Structure 1
Amino acid sequence: MLKEKLQILPAQPGCYLMKNQHNQVIYVGKAKNLRNRVRSYFTGSHDGKTLRLVQNITDFEYIVTSSEFEALLLEMNLIKKYDPKYNVMLKDDKSYPFIKITKEKYPRLLITRNVKRDGGKYFGPYPNAYAATETKKLLDRLYPLRKCDKLPDKVCLYYHIGQCLAPCVYQVAKEKTQDIVQDITHFLNGGFHDIKGQLQQKMESAAAKLEFERAKEFRDQMQHITAVMEKQQMMTNDMTTKDIFHYAFDKGWMCVQVFFVRHGKLIERDVSMFPFYAEPEEDFMTFLGQFYTKSHHIKPKEIWLPEGTDAAIAERLLEVKTVQPKRGKKKELLDLALKNAQLALQEKFKLIERDEERTIRAVEQIGQTLQIPYPERIEAFDNSNIHGTDAVSAMIVFEDGKPNKKDYRKYKIKTVKGPDDYASMQEVIRRRYTRILREGGRLPDLIVIDGGKGHMSAAKEVLENELDLSIPICGLAKDKKHKTADMLFGEPAMIIPLERNSQAFYLLQRIQDEVHRFAISFHRQLRGKNAFQSSLDGVKGVGEKRKKMLLKHFGSVKQLKMASFEELTTAGLPKDAATALLAHFQEAETVEKDS
């Protein structure tokens, strides 16, 4: 089917959507020529990363567009819609502080990390909260905007020290407020040198009038401006707000460096590293299109891009002036971003390879050993109980060799009486996959059972005979030291040889340890809760609220049992309830001694 679809692909620009065996979109790409680009995935040799993508492709769709630019826009929208596994997605939650002038009748000066379209003026980003806070403190000394969230009914300390005009009490002209906002805007846009010049004149004028304390205030303000705004060396003489982009790529990985230049100073950089599957220039353009969709990235006045990037498309896409320096200091700054990208890629590449060895390649090895397709999603189960009481089971999920904790599930055993591990496993398998089938959820590629042949047979019976599902199941048996020893697979279940020092074995060990931890922690939580409830059940006058109140006051059931009548009443328990509780404890103690 794929070969036939490849033959009829149009030689036009557009987007293509690669799908896996579950009909999920796993990759979205764009192309000037759909026929050439899509065919390239199925011909020639690829690196291991691209090979894994191709091995997971079972179908594809394509959408023709009228231009390369429209293909880029469509690709961005499709990536947002499908969140494909193999696409570049800026998922980092990093945010930088900004200084904001609010749009209110009496504006305020704030520090925020959330940039919104609310009419306010935002300045930044600043490299850290300290830099933003110090700048705001300086502006508070220079300009008397209001500081309070809600206007009080009397003047505050800020008015008395000259840092607020007290609009809560006095009428402040709109023109006065606008002038202050304009001065702050000018200051933060690089005009602080002009402010220093004005303060210099005021200081000299005050000194000439022998107003030395006033002159000292102006001098201190000038020193604050110097300390806060001028302590970093100038990077460029151009005061335009700009972002400088460059990228390096090697072995299918790309690193993008972004320098944030504000008022001629390099204040911060952003580093992103990710795998790419198309041409580097095209994937960089996709990255660029996503970069400013994040709330903490504000478009500057201009951006600098390396040669080889289509500046016209970038400018049309971002609606920002685009510059591609060819020589001089501007080119040197662009080259500095490239050098940083190359160094970061070299430093991180070994770590990326090591992580991939522990996860994706380990999963590949498990699939090859069991002779099944790449088990991208693995679900593991384990039971926990004490002689059949408080019986629970837990399920964890590993995707591409990494835990996906949002998909973890806990189960209380409902239908099994007594210590029957096999029946408990059947109940949980039945409940889990009946619901998946009912809701149309994602089935796993491999099920891992923390147990031996009996547990595997119990799970298979439910899956195959009741639910008509054919999902590979492997068991993990432990040795006398309760450590992972053998992997069991097949019908009948047999020990599958796996080298103890292989990454595949270590991954299975991590899965078994994690599902056991999750199950035992849930069991302990449930057991502790039930122990507290059962020791106080049936006591007249002690309901759920009073149980919680007593436990909070005394700290434990043991301390509660040792409490006197006076201590119980002091804790807030009525006299009748305290008497009933003491009698209950005494009766329970007598029964325990007799038994």
Structure 2
Amino acid sequence: MTRDDFRKIAPTIPKEPGVYRFLDASGTVIYVGKAKNLKNRLSSYFVSPKNLPNKTRTMVKNAARIEYTIVETEQDALLLENTLIKKFQPRYNVMLKDGKSYAYICIKNERFPRVFYTRKLIRDGSEYFGPYTSITRVRRLLELFRMLFPLRTCNYQLSEDNIRKGKFKVCLEYHIKNCNGPCAGLESEAAYDARIQQIRNILKGHFGAVKRYLEDEMRRLAENLEFEKAQELKEKLMAFEDYQGKSTVVSTTIRDLDVFSIATDEKHAWVNYLKVVNGAIINAWTQEMVKNLDEDEADLLAYAITELRQRFRSIAPEVVVPFAVSLPDG
């Protein structure tokens, strides 16, 4: 697309916030951008070529036409830009580098859910926590779950009908007290689900709720004169407190927040992310990004923040950044 081509359409371009798209001759979206002022931003691509970076010149040369969408606010523009980049994956936009698959902890969508680690996300209603860059950390969490809570590992279909008909028998896991035998009707679904909820709490960093659950169970057992079981639970509580004590605590006075920083060179950017829940770091991540045009650090960081908060399902009300960044509401 030449400067003469742009001059023909320039009078029709509004000076409103919006999102613009460069398309090639085949109609493929090759770049998506946002602007406080669409006319001013698009005009900046059609100044003297010597004033543009090489990649920007190449993108403009390969473009055949421009489309744009007017929005109400800059925040709306950021949100729409992010959506369109995901949808079209334009060749000249910044790309998140994910060269390998990462581990997740899965709570299976089934009666008496299994809990295990996986590298595949299957959209069957199961819950996935992560991603985790360290498989060692995933194994440590699974070991903690097995130590605290008896859970099944079999892949039986534990429907009410199958259990009522006595289709299954307890296995070795039951006899060594790693499972309470839900397959044979020896445990209620409510009791099992209560433990699954505590696993969710651990994965979300809600350690206080887990501690209260264990303390309540210990008191209930003691009141029922089941002192041996109460002692076992006390030992589990001590082990859990030891795990909690080894978590990296940022502050005991803050609650939930996300912390971001960024470093860049000519071709790449690296965004560091810390997810803090109840004052403790529960996840850390470094996202590498490939720069394709002349994106500034604020735009790169805003894009990465939106992506990472969605990926890690963060709803933290506070975001800490090294400089002012425009983000969509919510």
Query: Which TM-score tier does this pair reach, normalised by the shorter chain?
Result: 0.7 to 0.9
Amino acid at match of 2:314: P
Contact 1:29/1:278 (8 A) holds in 2 = no
Partner SS state of residue 105, structure 2: strand
Q: In the alignment, what sits opposite 1:88?
A: 94
Partner SS state of residue 230, structure 1: helix
Q: Quick one: which of 71, 78, 82 aligns to 2:84? A: 78
- Would the alpha carbon gap of residues 30 and 243 (structure 1) be closer, same or farther in structure 2, given more than 3 Å must change? same
Offset of 1:200 from its aligned partner?
8.8
Contact 1:190/1:239 (8 A) holds in 2 = no
Offset of 1:168 from its aligned partner?
1.9
- Would the alpha carbon gap of residues 117 and 21 (structure 1) be closer, same or farther in structure 2, given more than 3 Å must change? closer
Offset of 1:40 from its aligned partner?
0.9
- Structure 1 position 64 matched with structure 2 position 69: yes
Q: In the alignment, what sits opposite 1:31?
A: 35
TM-score by length of 2: 0.74
- Structure 1 position 286 matched with structure 2 position 303: yes
Offset of 1:36 from its aligned partner?
0.7
Q: In the alignment, what sits opposite 2:172?
A: 157
Q: Quick one: which of 143, 154, 160 aligns to 2:149? A: 143
Using the alignment, how far apart are the partners of 1:14 and 1:282 within structure 2? Answer: 15
Q: In the alignment, what sits opposite 2:313?
A: 299
Q: In the alignment, what sits opposite 1:103?
A: 109
- Would the alpha carbon gap of residues 240 and 93 (structure 1) be closer, same or farther in structure 2, given more than 3 Å must change? farther
Partner SS state of residue 15, structure 1: strand
Offset of 1:147 from its aligned partner?
1.7
- Structure 1 position 7 matched with structure 2 position 10: yes
Offset of 1:71 from its aligned partner?
3.3
Per-residue CA distance 1:427-452 (angstroms, 9 max, x = gap): xxxxxxxxxxxxxxxxxxxxxxxxxx
Contact 1:90/1:291 (8 A) holds in 2 = no
Per-residue CA distance 1:271-302 (angstroms, 9 max, x = gap): 32332435543343334344456xxx231231
Offset of 1:15 from its aligned partner?
2.7
TM-score by length of 1: 0.44
Q: Once superposed, what is the RMSD of the aligned Cα atoms?
A: 3.8
Query: In percent, how many aligned pairs have the same letter?
Result: 30
Using the alignment, how far apart are the partners of 1:22 and 1:7 within structure 2? Answer: 22
- Structure 1 position 169 matched with structure 2 position 184: yes
Contact 2:107/2:113 (8 A) holds in 1 = yes
- Would the alpha carbon gap of residues 259 and 61 (structure 1) be closer, same or farther in structure 2, given more than 3 Å must change? same
Partner SS state of residue 149, structure 1: coil
- Structure 1 position 265 matched with structure 2 position 281: yes
**Higher helix residue share:** 1
Contact 1:241/1:300 (8 A) holds in 2 = no
Contact 1:134/1:228 (8 A) holds in 2 = no
Amino acid at match of 1:36: N
Relative contact order (alpha carbons < 8 A, sep ≥ 6): 1 or 2 greater? 2
Partner SS state of residue 111, structure 1: strand
Partner SS state of residue 168, structure 1: helix
Using the alignment, how far apart are the partners of 2:57 and 2:324 within structure 1? Answer: 27
Instruction: For structure 2, list consecutive stretches of 5 or more residues without a partner in the other structure.
Output: 159-166
Using the alignment, how far apart are the partners of 2:126 and 2:27 within structure 1? Answer: 45
Partner SS state of residue 132, structure 1: helix
Instruction: For structure 1, list consecutive stretches of 5 or more residues without a partner in the other structure.
Output: 320-595
